[in-house]
Amino acid sequence: MRSNAPTIVQSVYVKTRSFLLLSSLPAALFATLPELSSIDPIEYDEAEQRLVARGDARLKVETTEVRADTITYYQEYGLADALGDAAIMREGYRMVGERVSFDANDNIFSVQAPRTGAWPLYIEGQDAGGSIENMSLEASHIYYTDPGFLTPNIKARSLRFKEVDERKSLQIKGATFRIGPVPFFYLPSFTYYLTESPFYFDFDVGSDSTLGTYLQTTTLIPLTPALRLGANLDYYSKRGTLVGPAAQYVYDTGTHRMVGAFSSGYIDDRGKTGTDVNGQAIDPSRSYAEWRHQHQIGERGTLLANLSYRSDSAVMRDFNESVFKRNQRPDNFVEAVYAGDNFLLSAFTRFNPSDFDRIQERLPELQFDYLPTPIGDLGVYQSGAASYARIRDDLNNVPSLDGTTYRAYERFDLSYQLLRPVPLNNWLSFTPLAAARLSHYINQETKSILAVNPKDSTSLSRYALGFDLAAQAQATYATRNAIWEIEGLRHTLRPVLKYRYLSSPADNDAIQIERQALDLNRPILDLNELRQLDAVGDAHLVRIGLENEFQTRAEGYGSRSLAALNFYQDILLEREQVKYDGTQPNTLHATWVELLIQPAPWLKFDLAARLSTQKMSLEELRTRTTLLSGDAWSLRLSTDLLLSDIDQFRLAYMLRLSENQSFIAHTRFNADTGTFDYTSIGLHSQLGSAWELLYEITLRDDPIRESELEFTVGLRLVEP
């Protein structure tokens, strides 16, 4: 006969927690019970085979745990009913709701009014059910960060959470994309992986004299797990509307990984378009397109693409200044590389889609690089390369003194180098080397008023001889400093001496297409590494260097660099080529000084200088100084000096005013004119947990195309 009053078993009772020890039950029955605990004594109804736990009740079955104010567990069926602040959880996952029903035998559950999430997502719904690895939610909302009036969110008819091989995804049905309560986009179905950012929003509102009042927006919505698709949509009161598609994608299968982005825009410009860099009138139909792509193929293959189309030289400067500052003269190229055990096989092409800029095109360049490899047991290392390239120089609208408008040739190039490291003792090594480079030119042509077409084919040979003499010495000091976290000091000193002789071609009838770019770094010495082959002439020089590095023990393991100081002096024994500024170099060509100081994470100083040794005058100076005080403030100072052409100082400052607000300032001082030619002052704010808000005022002195005064308000979605 069933009793109406439950049988209460209290075996252990403490103030904070009690555990049920059913020693009176059969051993087989006890083995089937999950771990059930609560603050209050647990009630056990033997007739109903029911246990009731109250007060921070917990039911644990293997790795799954249910918590609630009250848990009723039906032992015969392995069912649990949790009420009041109910939650079901496992390591790394938690879902809460008004009521949780749990089947301990099959490890499945249902939740009323479920709430769950993993930063930056917060999810709530009407009902949820399934297993922790595979569950569904009905009538759900997915918020990007915390729910709020302006929080981006998705209102979904249903969604299904799946975890396969530790990759978590949401399969969403009937998705309405919204900003707060306002809908703006709908998708019948799509899948979102939790490791990705679901949205991208970027809004800028401002005003200046050249664009008028403007609104710049970029919006991206996830269409597939690998693709976010959207558009750039801008409005300028003085210029018109700019619109163009935009996309971001990430694809990873383990053997293939692709990442890339595309952005574009078109506008029928109603304003004063002005002229381009060559003085040509700019057409009102203006557009741009930018594509960046990186593809890793297995462990050995890579593919890179960097493509930029601009209808005129000023379109990005006018309508996308942030991109223009980073990339004023875009380089269009595609390169594929296969890495073998001791070789590289590459295909490279560079082309010029514009009619206002001058670029040395390679259409294409195929190259095989043989990496340094020992020859038997001789101690000699050999390396080389073989390549084919069609090189073209279309001057477009760039003026030419001799009226040249077009030059091109095809070139076969073969290089080979031998070197033999000879350790003279344990601190000194001597490495002689010899190299040769043979180039054969065919299908040469030029279009010019004055120049005469060269021979159809030409062969040129270049040779190099030299040696490297390098020494190394070390000293350690028992230096300790708590402020700089120095635990011992090691000084490494490396004197180096390099000698090179490079011969010029015997026949110099080849077209000079490859020009020497303005490069203020130390010149490359090795013949097989020279890129601008047409510009290579006689070179006979000695480079003397003294390299210093200071290190201390790193916390945990290894070492960290505190400072480096390097000196290099080039001595020109023969002087054929002119310098970048058109003057003849001296025998004591130049002295380079490089200094790096980074004794702590909050301080870094970097200096690079080039001096005219003959005149003992400073030709170039670049410094970078960074000071940080956690996230409270930061100060960055940089200087750039290049003879009388550039003499600029830049300062960037950030001060955190509160948890959600920061003051930022950037300024650039031109010492030649004695003016601050660029200054911006702004206030950065955190708007809720999803948005960043930026107020900025920009002042410019005598700008080329921009306004002297500009005011901008930017709103950007926080990326996780």
Assign residue 616 a region (left: φ > 0; alpha: ψ between -120 and 50; beta: otherwise).
left
Count Cβ atoms below 10 Å from residue 154 Cβ, excluding itself.
Answer: 28
Across the range 152-168, mean pLDDT stands at 83
499 and 620 part of one domain: yes
pLDDT digits (tens, 9 = 90+) for 503-534: 877 665 556 788 766 666 788 888 888 888 88
Residue 97 placed within a domain: yes
* Residue 143 located in a structural domain: yes
Mean pLDDT check: name the lowest of 176-185, 437-446, 581-590: 581-590
State both tokens at 265: 């825009």
Q: Which has more pLDDT, 512 or 443?
A: 443
Amino acid at 473: A
Using pLDDT thresholds of 50, 70 and 90, give the confidence band for residue 197.
low
Same domain, 65 and 121: no
At 719, is the pLDDT very low, low, confident or very high (cuts 50, 70, 90)?
Answer: confident
Instruction: Report the C-alpha gap between 503 and 497 in whole angstroms.
Output: 20
> Based on the domain organization, do 561 and 649 belong to the same domain?
no
Q: Are residues 464 and 589 in the same domain?
A: yes
Answer yes or no: do 716 and 648 share one domain. Answer: yes
Q: Quote the pTM value.
A: 0.81
| C-alpha–C-alpha distance, residues 193 and 178, integer Å | 19
Contact 668, 694 (CB under 8 A): no
Q: What is d(CA 534, CA 641) in angstroms, rounded to the nearest whole number?
A: 30
Residues 6+ apart with CB under 8 A from 549: 491, 492, 494, 561, 563, 564
Report residue 29: phi and psi, to 5°: -70, -40
What pLDDT is attached to residue 452? 62
* Among candidate residues 206, 210, 218, the one with its CA nearest the CA of residue 270: 210
| Structure tokens, 349 | 């092409």
227 in Cβ contact with 247 (< 8 Å): yes
Task: Categorize the per-residue pLDDT at 205 as very low, low, confident or very high, splitting at 50, 70 and 90.
Answer: very high
Q: How far is CA 713 from CA 200, 207, 684, in A?
A: 17, 9, 10
Report the first-to-last Cα separation within the chain, whole angstroms.
62
Candidate from 63-72, 134-143, 160-169, 302-311 with smallest mean pLDDT: 160-169
Q: Are 266 and 286 in contact (CB under 8 A)?
A: yes
In one-letter notation, the amino acid at residue 418 is: L
Residues 6+ apart with CB under 8 A from 363: 349, 350, 351, 390, 391, 392
Q: In angstroms, what CA-CA distances link 16 with 8, 37, 70? A: 19, 11, 16
Does residue 17 register a pLDDT over 70? no
Q: Can you list the alpha helix ranges (DSSP code H) found in 357-459? A: none
Q: Does residue 120 have a cis bond before it (omega within 30 degrees)?
A: yes
pLDDT value, residue 709? 93
Nearest CA to 234 among 226, 244, 224?
244
> Cβ distance 453 to 515 under 8 Å?
no
Phi and psi at 27, nearest 5°, equal: -60, -40
Q: Which residues contact 508 (CB under 8 A, 6 or more apart)?
A: 460
Q: What does the alpha-carbon distance between residue 126 and residue 139 come to, in Å, rounded to a whole number?
A: 6
CB 168 within 8 Å of CB 195: yes
Question: Are residues 441 and 489 located together in one domain of the fold?
Answer: yes
Higher pLDDT, 4 or 663: 663
Query: Nearest 5°: phi and psi at 318?
Result: -80, -40
The reply to whether 219 falls in a domain is no
Q: How far, in Å, CA of 703 to CA of 211, rounded?
A: 14
Which tens digit of pLDDT belongs to each residue from 18-66?
344 333 344 344 444 588 889 999 888 888 888 999 999 999 988 889 9
In this prediction, residues 308-319 reach a mean pLDDT of 95
Instruction: Summarize pLDDT for 573-590 with one digit per residue, the tens.
Output: 876 555 555 566 777 878
pLDDT score of 580: 53
Asked if residue 330 belongs to a domain, the reply is: no
Query: What long-range pairs does 133-137 form, CB within 8 A, spacing at least 24?
Result: 133/162, 133/163, 134/160, 134/161, 134/162, 134/163, 135/160, 135/161, 136/160, 136/161, 137/161
Cα→Cα distances 525→521, 538, 539, 543, 585, Å = 12, 12, 9, 9, 17
DSSP state of 402: T
d(CA 611, CA 303): 40
Distance from C-alpha of 88 to C-alpha of 96, rounded to nearest angstrom = 6
Domain boundary among 113, 136, 161: 113
User: What pLDDT score does 260 carry?
Assistant: 96
Confidence tier at 569 by pLDDT (50, 70, 90) = very high
Q: Does residue 544 lie within any of the structural domains?
A: yes
Q: How many domains does the chain have?
A: 4
Structure tokens at 664: 């930022």
User: What does the alpha-carbon distance between residue 181 and residue 321 come to, in Å, rounded to a whole number?
Assistant: 33
- Report the pLDDT value the prediction gives residue 543, as an integer from 0 to 100: 94
User: Per-residue confidence at 7, pLDDT binned at 50, 70, 90?
Assistant: very low
Residues 12 and 63 in one domain: yes
Average pLDDT over residues 624-630: 93
Q: Do 135 and 15 sit in the same domain of this protein? A: no
The whole-number average pLDDT for the span 467-474 is 96
Residues 180 and 41 in one domain: no
Strands 428-447 and 127-130: unpaired
d(CA 86, CA 93): 14
- Residue 10 is predicted with a pLDDT of 34
Average pLDDT over residues 129-147: 88
Give the residue, 573 or 562, on which the prediction is more confident. Answer: 562
Per-residue pLDDT at 191:
81
pLDDT at 344 over 90: yes
Instruction: Tell me the per-residue pLDDT of 226-241, one tens digit each, with 9 for 90 and over.
Output: 889 999 999 999 999 9
Task: Examine residue 299 and state whether it is found in any structural domain, yes or no.
Answer: no
Is 538 a member of any domain?
yes
- DSSP code at position 431: E
Q: What does the pLDDT read at residue 32?
A: 45
**pLDDT of the residue at 195:** 66
Q: At 5, is the pLDDT very low, low, confident or very high (cuts 50, 70, 90)? A: very low
Last residue of a domain, one of 74, 89, 113: 113
Neighbours of 707 (CB within 10 A): 17
What pLDDT is stored for residue 237 in this prediction?
96
* CB 516, CB 532: distance < 8 Å: yes
Q: Check: CB of residue 29 under 8 Å from CB of residue 40.
A: no
Percent of the chain scoring above 90 in pLDDT: 55
Is 562 found in the same domain as 458? yes
Q: What are the start-end ranges of the E strands in 105-226?
A: 108-112, 115-118, 121-124, 127-130, 134-144, 152-164, 167-179, 182-193, 200-208, 212-224
Report the number of secondary-structure helices (H) and strands (E) in the chain.
3, 43
pLDDT value of residue 645 = 82
Q: Which SS3 state, helix, strand or coil, does residue 20 take?
A: coil
For residues 642 and 601, state if they share a domain.
no
- Among 271-275, 437-441, 562-566, 611-615, name the one with the lowest average pLDDT: 611-615
The answer to whether the beta carbons of residues 243 and 266 sit under 8 Å apart is yes
Residue 639 in this model has a pLDDT that exceeds 50: yes
Same domain, 127 and 11: no
Any domain includes 447: yes
Point out the domain boundary residue: 89, 113, 137: 113
Q: What is the DSSP-derived secondary structure letter of residue 378?
A: S
Percent of the chain with pLDDT over 70: 90
- Reading the block at residue 473, the tokens are 């010495």
Annotate 332-366 with b (16+ C-beta within 10 A) or e (fewer).
Answer: bbbbbbebeeeeeebebbbebebebbbbbbbebbe
Instruction: Report the alpha-carbon distance of residue 553 to residue 555 in Å, rounded.
Output: 7
534 by DSSP, 3-state: which?
A: helix
Helix/strand/coil (H/E/C) assignment for every residue in 665-677: EEEEEECCCCEEE
Which domain covers residue 104, as residue numbers?
Answer: 1-113
